[in-house]
Structures are given as C-alpha cells and as structure tokens.
Structure 1
Amino acid sequence: MFETIRRTDDDEDRSAFGLFLLSGVIAVLVTSPLLWLFLRAAQVDPERAFSLVVSTRTVEILANSVGLMAGVTLLSIAIGVPLAVLTTGTDLPYDRFWTITAALPLVIPSYIGAFAFVRTFGSGGEVSEAIGVPLPAVEGFWGAVLVITLYTYPYVFLSTRAALLSLDMELVEAARSLNVSPIEAYRRVVFPQIRPAIAAGALLVALYAVSDFGTPAFMRVSVFTYEIYVEYGSFNVEYAALLSMQLLAVTAVILLIEARVGRDSGSTGGGRTARIRLGRWKWVAMTAITTIGVVTLVVPVAVFGVWALRGPDGSVPSLAFEWGMALNSVYLATLAAALACVFAIPVAYYSARSDSPLSRLFERATYVGFAVPGIVIGLALVFFGANYAPWIYRTVPLLVFAYVVRFLPQVVGTTRSAVLQVDDRLVEAARTLNAGPMETFRKVTLPLILPGVVAGGVLVFLTTMKELPATLMLQPIGVDTLVTVIWAAHETLYYQYAAIPALILVLISGLSMVVLLRQESGLG
C-alpha cells in the first residue's frame, strides 16, 4: 500500500515538473518575437538611432499616433457613456433593441469601415453620386479618428453599461430621498462608482487606436503602425525597428495606466438604477442611436453589396474573387486555432492548478502578443525569418505562429476558466482508482474543459481570419487570403474587387460576437 502511495506521489511530481517545463517553453516561444525585435534595434548605431528617434518626422509620427489615440478615446467616452445611461437608467422604450444596436459596430473590423467610408463620401463617392450632392470626404487624420471611434466606442459602452447594471440601487435612492434630481444623483453618486469601468473601456479603446493598422493605412495617416509597414516595404529596417520600439513604449504606458485605474469599483447589488424620464427627448435619443447604426452598419454593408452586384470596373484577374482565397483563410485560421489550443491547455491547466508565481508568470507571458500591435509581431518575425531561419521565412508555419502569438490569450482565458470549474472531487475519485495523472487528465479533466477550449479555439479562428498586418508581412508566396485581396484592391484602386471578401469578413465578425456572447453566458 505504501509503495502504491509512493509511486503515486512520484507520478504527481514528474507530472507537475513536466507541466512546469512545458508551460515555460510555451511562454518563451510566444514572447520570443520581441527578443528578435530588440536584437535588431540594438544593432543600430547609437548616434544614428538617436538622430532617427528625435527627427522631425519621428516626432510628427509620435504626435499623430498620440493625437489619434487621444481623439478616439475622448470621442468614445462622449458616445459610449451617454448610450450606456440611456439604455440602463432611462425610460427609453425597447431598451434591449437599442442596446444591441449600440453594440453591433463591434461586428465590423474598423479597416472594413474605413474602406467603405473612403469610397462612400466625398466627391465621386457612392452616397454623393446617389444624392447628387458632394459630401465632405472622410479621410486623413480626422477621418481616421471618426472611423475608429465609430467601431470602438462599444468597448466603453459595454463596460459602462455592465457597471451601471451592477450598481447598488440603494445609493441612488438615498440621494433621491434628499430631493436631488436624477441628473444630480448620477453626477454625485453614480459616476464616481462607474468611473473605473469607464476608464477600463476607454483604455481598451486607446490600446486599439494606437495599434490599429488598417484604418490609418487606408486613410494615409502617418502613425506608427502605417509608417512601420512603409519603412519595412522600403527596406529601411533600422527605422522600422526603432519605430516599433517607440510604439511598444506607448503601448506599455497605456497598459500601465490600465493596470492602475482599470479596477473594479467595489459596487454591490444589482438591478436598474433610478430611471430618468426622457419625455420628448426619447425621440432624439432613438434617432441618435439609429443614425449610429445606419452609419456604422447599413452604409458599409450596402456599399459592398452594391459593388458585389454591380461587379468591378475593369478586369484584373489577379484580384478576382475565388473561393480558393476563402479556403486559404479558413486553412490558415484552422491551423492557428488548433495550435493555439495545443499551446493553451498546459499553460492554462498549470496556472489554474498551481499557486506558484511562475505559473502566473507563464500565463501572463502568453498575453504579451495580444497587447503588442500585430504590425510589431509581424516585423519581429520578419527579422527572425530573414536573418536566422530563411527556410521558414514567408511560409505557412511562420505565419501560423504569428497568429498563435497574437491570439493565444483567447484560448488561455477560456481554458483556465473551464479548469477552475472542474470539481476536484472528480479528479480525486479517479486517482483513488489508481489512474495516473495523464490518464486522469485524459479521461476526466479534458472532457470537462473541452467546451472552454473549443470556445477559445473558435474565437482564435474567427479573429485570425480578420488579421491584416501580420498577414501582409508574412504572407506565403502564392497564398492569397480575404484580407490580402482587400488590401490589394485598395492599393491598386480597383475597390470593387474588395466587395465579396469584405462581406465575408463582416459575416465572420458577426459570428465572433455570437461566440463571445455564448462564451460569457456559458463560462462566466
């Protein structure tokens, strides 16, 4: 009997050590792209590096990037917070419908919206020609601010709305009992309570804005992401590396701020807060939400739909839609999702079952790629492939690895949540039947956590289909995908060729939201 117990303990120790090693190797792998970037930047002569960093052009790029981030963040707060209040704290009719309408812009990737806006408004745009009146062009810096805001304000809206729904109603009622108006009660009692949620959503918007590549690229705005790609295409790799380091520094500052202010407000309770009666203002509110829905959803889908029905102007066989492009996207996304699941299981399991600081460190390491802009990951792997592993450069394995680095946290998070929900008594029961750690995991734990793994894998699949910068920089020769065709259509000015790929990506984005909602209800 004692020999059996000793053997069981030895198996446990070996299993734990193996899990530790495997998690550590995965953590090193997914953070390794940053190492290649640091190495490349370190090769630049210090004097030249300093002159490039403080050059007028670099200062302009920094100013544009920070200005874009600030403008998008402030506008997102200005739109998202009032919408959250309208749908939770007023007598707005059909609030459920308006909530869905306000959240739906997340369905469309911002670069798809930017593509449609550039070709819809302004002289010669679809809407201008349809109504016979030239409309202002949506382009340049302010056009990018507007478009990114319209497709990212739901981050603020959803986080603020969640905080309002969880707010302790008694606080508001106590304020109302002192003859304070609903608006004054919100100002004095509600907003201090929901400020952390507003800040958390706003900082997500800021992180997205500073890392967005497609929208600034389509609108020709000189920001870090677009200029890194331009310098890379011009073989000016030194400047591209230095710009990437500066972009990482800006991202780190945003994450630091998020860590400090993105905390829970500590509110308890739940339910509706005191309702504000809108009166005739409810028509203004419904008109505003309807306008946002039409501009962000109806206009892009309608434009691409018209283009798809009308067909392209001119004949460019290389841009003509073929189902092989969609199949390539599906193939790459499937490989990325499968590999992400394989990587996520040991890291998530070790993090959930161990209290050691290293387990948390390994788990957090997998989140690096999600915080780092895709253009930076792509550039880092270009350096690695071109200089250290030319046999893998511009091949499917390297591109799939970039996707895994970028989106692995989506599986780690859902898998860890699923592991935490496994009843320890089931595992102990299997061990009492002399089942080893691996057999217990395979027969008991894995079937129980599989829904969480699959949910995360599906999310990786869907987001991989939409990834633009990493795909452009690491695209295997001869492997065209939906996003590369959209980019090529824009670069060659044959915009209509982007119609069908864009509509497919909108559908995929819609499925992403469905998966997210099911994930929240099933795992939260």
Structure 2
Amino acid sequence: MGAPPLLLAAGVVVALLALIPLGYVVTYTAIIGPVDLWHLVVRPRILELLGNTVSIALACMGACAVLGVGLAALVERTDLPGKRVWHGLLVAPLAIPAFVNGYAWVSLDRSVHGFWGAFLVITLSYYPLVYLPVVASLRGLDPALEESAWSLGHSRWRSFRSVVVPQLRPALLGGVLLVGLHLLAEFGALALLRFPTFTTAIYDQYGSTFNGQAATAMAGVLVLLCLLLLLADLRLRGQRHYSRVGQGAARRAVPARLGRARWPSVGVVGLVVLLALGVPSYSLLHWLWVGTSTEFPLGELSAAAATTVLLAAAGAVVTTMAAVPVVWLAVRHRGRLSTLVERCTYIANALPGIVVGLALVVASLRLVPIVYQTALLLVVAYAILFLPRAVVTVRAGLEQAPLVLDHVAHSLGAGPVETARRVTLPLIAPSLGAGAALVFLAVSTELTATLMLSPIGTHTLATEFWSASSELRYGAAAPYALLLVAISVPATLLLMRQERLQP
C-alpha cells in the first residue's frame, strides 16, 4: 500500500529542508568550475586532511562500537556488581560536550593532542551514542531466544554472538552512524586537540582568509564521505525486519556469571568512567579553584544559561517532530522513495555548522529575508544539523513496534491518524523522548552555526565558553562549562531512566 499523500509530502518537505546545505555546496562548486575545482582538490594538503578525517572516523567508530557493545553486555547480561550505578555513570558522559572534554584533557596535559589525543577524547565522548541504544535493545529482547540456543548446546558466548548480536543490528548501526556523522562535522574538540580535519580546515579558511572556493571544495569532499558512510550503513542494514507480536517473556535474561573475570570487569568499567567522567570533572573544578582568570559574572552566566535552555528545547521539539514523518515513511512504507527521503536527512549532519550557517544565510536572504538573524532561522539550522539523532532513535523504536497492531486497529474501523495516535505513538513514546533528549544535548553544545546565525546580542554557554577557552583563559571558561554540564544533566537523566528506548 502506498504512503498517504500528506505523510509523503511532510517527509519530502523535511528532506528538502535538510538538503539546503547540499544545494549550497553543489551550486558554489559548479560556479568554481571543473578546472579550478580539480586544482583545489588535488593538493597535498587535501590528501593529508582526507587521511586524517577518514582515519579518525574509522578508528573512533570501531572503538565506540566495541566499547558500546562490550559495556552494554557487561551491564545487561552479566552479574557485574553495582550494575545500576555503573549504567548511570556510563551514560553520564553525554552531559559533557566533546569540546569540554578536549578542553579538560588539553588544559591538564598539553601532550594530549594529535591523532591519539583526538582518538581518546572523541571515543570517550561519543561511545554513549552506541552504548545507550544497545542497552535498550538488550532490555527489549526476549530471553527465550537465547535459552533456545542454550538448549541446543550452544555456549553463552556463541548464543550471544549468533542470536543476540544480529538483533542488535539496528541499534548498533544507528549508533555507529551517528558517531561517524558527528566526527565528520566535529570542530571544537579537534581544534583544541590540534588535529586538522576537513571541518577545522573549512573553519580556518572562512575565518582567516575567507577563501570561499577552497572551503567549498573541502565541503564537497565531506559530502562525498558522508554519502559513502550512508551507503555503507544502508548495505549493512539490509531489508531485515526486527519487530515481533507481543513482548515475549516478561522477564530479564539470566545474567552470566563472570567468575574470576568479575573484578577485572569492574576495573575495566571503572577505568572507562574515570577517563570519561573523572578527568573532565577534576579539570573543571581544578581551574575553578586555581585559575587566575576565574570569575563568576552572574548576570552573563544566567542570561547565557536561559538562552541555551530555550534554544535547545525549541530545537529538540522541532527536530523530533520533523523526524516522525521521515521515520514513518522509512519503516511503514518501505520503498526507494522513502529510503531516499530518510537518507537525505543525514547529509547536512556531516557538514560543519559554518557551512550549514552560510547556506541558510544565503537561502534566507534570497528567499525569505524577514527570517535572517532571527531565532527561527537558528532553530531551523539546529533541526537540519541534528535531525539524524532523532531519526536514528525514533526509527529504532518504530522498527520494533509490531505492524500487525496497526492492521488490527484498521480492521476495527480506526483510520490511519487515529491508529497512529492511539496505537503506534504510545508504543514509540520512549524513543521520541530519547530522540528529543539527544537533540537537546547536541543543540546546547553547538558552536559554529550559533555564532553565525544567532540574533545580535545573543550568547549561549557554548559560545561564551569557546570565547574564553580559545584565549587560554581556562578559569574564565570553567563556570560556563559547568553550567553547560548542569543543564545537560536532566536530558541525560531522561535517557538513563528509560527502561528501554524501544518497545
């Protein structure tokens, strides 16, 4: 059955909105011309940036996948002591932005830089994007599946590998995709860690020499990398369905006994928490105490905090609402068009905020000048940048919402809208909340698009922190970083308290 026209129209509108930055890059790339473009792209510097970007992306995606799945398995499938506490601590790094984490490590030890410094900081900052959905999927699986494998003589490890891991595919691939897309667009942490990638180079080009042609050429390469990443995800995801009728056995799986590995496992989890949470917490408190530039301008702090919360809340609501028709098309009305609509929403996430900002500046001035330098345009930028966070999370929930329940509702006379309101939306409500929380966290820490598009006189905690830290005033930056962490805590707690993100 074809997609309802209104649903299809809504999905296409969202996709077209998300493609504005791509249109900007393609248009200005065409203006450059093939000859000049070739000379701009085929340069030793571009090859160096390509190697740096691809190597750090692949390394961190792999590390986050291993760390996310391994930690999730320890917490959900073993008798690890203090699992509830460890779960909270493993999710908590979501409240610490990557650039704050980079600031923490660099300000304490200047030797933390380059590839290995970036690999350490980015992995510690982004692994919860894989850990959370994998934990949610593990909690939603029917333990009878594993028990059937045990009855056939399979060991716990073989059962986990052959029965459980395939069921984690949507959550794992979605989390890894988010890590990869965020890495392609990451600026703050990589700039602090002095590891040049396309994003930092684009910012330098626009910020220092305003070399639009070179920056646009590099943005075009980023778009190609994003497309390759999306194609790889699409190929690995395949066309499998993961929903089931009913909730299965209403109990948790029997935890595996760690035995002699019990305390070494506690040590591994504790080390991750120490590096991801302990180091940045100590660094912020250290600079508050000893920093010569430390000050507490209460008026500026409170104004920046209020602005950050309002913008993040607006961005979270708008982005999650925009994700719903896209996901509904991709899951409930599978086809080439629905897949294309969903994939289009990922493109801009790989572009730096400065490119998205420039695209919206040009589009708004030419099409709707009244929205230029308004909060509305800034919220639209947030929606374009962070739509994949909502799409991935909401899709993970809708994938496991049984389609047969929709059919039952239709057979009882309920129309599509009533079925969605009374049956499907309540089932995916945890996913909607989780998606909004993830977007809230992302918006509250966004830098470059906020600097470019915010109305005159608007300051957020992220922009104030960046202003101070880039001038090496670590003490002055610390209060803004702490407030940034504080307002991220409620969204992080919402994610932690979700018994599961999927029904």
Once the two structures are overlaid, the 10-residue window that deviates more, 73-82 or 236-245, is 73-82
Q: Which residue of 2 aligns with 1:246?
A: 221
TM-superposed CA distance for 1:225, in Å, is 1.3
1:287 to 252, 261, 267: 267
**Cα distance between partner residues in 1 of 2:342 and 2:200:** 30
The TM-score with structure 2 as length reference comes to 0.78
Decide which structure has the larger Cα Rg and report it.
1
C-alpha distance in structure 1 between counterparts of 2:113 and 2:69, whole Å? 26
Cα drift, residue 501 of structure 1: 1.9
> 1: CA distance between counterparts of 2:217 and 2:76?
46
SS in 2 for 1:220: coil
Contact map agreement 1:385 1:392 (CA 8 A) in 2 = yes
Picking from 438, 441, 450, the partner of 1:471 is 450
The aligned counterpart of 2:201 is 227
Q: Does 1:121 align with 2:109?
A: yes
Per the alignment, residue 304 of structure 2 pairs with 325
Residues 20-419 of structure 1: pairs in structure 2 closer than 5 A = 21=9, 23-122=11-110, 137-158=111-132, 166=141, 168-172=146-150, 174-175=152-153, 186=157, 188-193=158-163, 196=166, 197=168, 200=173, 201-233=175-207, 234-262=209-237, 271-272=252-253, 275-279=256-260, 281-309=261-289, 312-313=292-293, 321-337=300-316, 339-340=318-319, 343=322, 362=341, 365-370=344-349, 374-384=353-363, 393-408=372-387, 414=394
Q: Kindly tell me: are residues 353 and 511 of structure 1, through their superposed partners in 2, closer, same or farther at Cα, counting changes over 3 Å?
A: same
For residue 36 of structure 1, what is the amino acid of its counterpart?
Answer: Y
Answer yes or no: is the 8 Å Cα contact 2:406–2:423 preserved in 1.
Answer: yes
Q: Structure 2 vs 1, CA of residues 236 and 310 (structure 1 numbering), >3 Å: closer, same or farther?
A: same
Provide the C-alpha distance between the structure 1 equivalents of 2:71 and 2:358, rounded to a whole number of angstroms: 38
3-state SS of the aligned residue for 2:127? helix
1:294 deviation in Å?
2.0
- Return closer, same or farther for 1:315/1:411 CA change in 2, 3 Å cut-off: closer
Aligned length: 481
Distance 1:203 1:396 in 2: 29
1:277-321 per-position Cα deviation (integer Å, ceiling 9, x unaligned): 432x4222212222221221122123223434556527898x994
Share of identical aligned residues, percent?
Answer: 34
Note the alpha carbon deviations across 1:75-103, whole angstroms, 9 max, x for none.
33453444344334544323333333333
Structure 2: 5+ residue stretches without partners: none
TM-fit CA distance, 1:58: 0.4
Q: Which runs of 5+ in 1 are unaligned?
A: 1-15, 123-136, 177-181, 432-436
Distance 1:351 1:79, change over 3 A: closer
Hey, what's the Cα distance between the residues in 1 that align with 2:436 and 2:65? 32
Structure 1 residues 390-423: Cα deviation after superposition (integer angstroms, max 9, x where no partner): 7755443322220122234566775995998889
Q: Which amino acid aligns with 1:217?
A: A
> Amino acid of the residue matched to residue 66 of structure 1?
V
After superposition, the Cα gap between the structure-2 partners of 1:444 and 1:38, relative to the gap in structure 1 and judged at 3 Å, is: same
RMSD over aligned Cα, in angstroms? 4.4
1:415-454 superposed matches below 5 A: none
Aligned residue identity for 1:496: G
Residues 24-53 of structure 1: CA deviation (Å, up to 9, x unaligned): 444323322221221011111322211111
Letter in 2 for 1:466: T
Contact 1:44 1:238 in 2 (8 A): yes
Letter paired with 1:206: G
Specify whether residues 516 and 383 from structure 1 end up closer, same or farther in structure 2 by C-alpha distance, changes over 3 A only. same
Deviations 1:313-354 (A, max 9, x none): 27898x994322122223333443454466567767888987
